[in-house]
Amino acid sequence: MARLIIYEESEHSESVFETFELSSTRILIGSDPDNNLVLQSPEVDSSHASLELRNNLWVLQDLGGPGGTGVNGRLIQGPYYLFHNDMIELGQIRLNFQEKEPEAEKQPEEIIPAVPPPMAKVDTKPVKGRVWFAFIAGGTLGIIFVIMFLLIVADFLNVIEISDLLPLMMLLGWL
């Protein structure tokens, strides 16, 4: 089972403040009492970050806290896959992510151990799902504006009459 070691900073040193076991598959972190992990600090937003177990990997997501969420000294953008001993920073609060290795169970000699499935390749870079969506949406809007501009220019040059297109638009359900 994975856990977070929460550090308390004093003027000249850090000491372990608390150990938080990641016992559910989704953990909300923030200053609001409704969160699973409540951190009282001016730099921590009411809903600052989340941890979610996806395909046996823990994923950290910044939820828009004022100072952002950092891992190993870098601010994260989007979901971030955590690895053993990653240091999570929420303002001045530091959390060390640790994954406990399950103890190997002894198997009777008669039982043939199952062949483990091949390891899936995990991309450790942040997922940029919003970027491609914004790119596609912006491109679509650009094409619509170009078509509108060409229609207005064609109407101005008396190549077509925009009013002639109205019955076609009504048939297509656009009006």
| First and final C-alpha spacing in the chain | 58
Closest CA to 53 of 35, 26, 76, 80: 26
Per-residue pLDDT tens digits for 50-65: 999 988 889 999 887 7
* DSSP track, 89-102: EETTEEEEEEEPPP
CA 106 – CA 65 distance, rounded (Å): 46
Per-residue pLDDT tens digits for 100-158: 654 544 444 555 555 555 555 555 555 455 566 777 888 999 999 999 899 899 989 98
pLDDT class for 22, splitting at 50, 70, 90? confident
Question: How big is the CA angle at 117 (ends 115 and 120), to the nearest 5 degrees?
Answer: 155
* DSSP track, 149-169: HHHHHHHHTTS--HHHHHHHH
Per-residue pLDDT tens digits for 71-87: 998 988 888 999 898 99
CA 50 – CA 63 distance, rounded (Å): 7
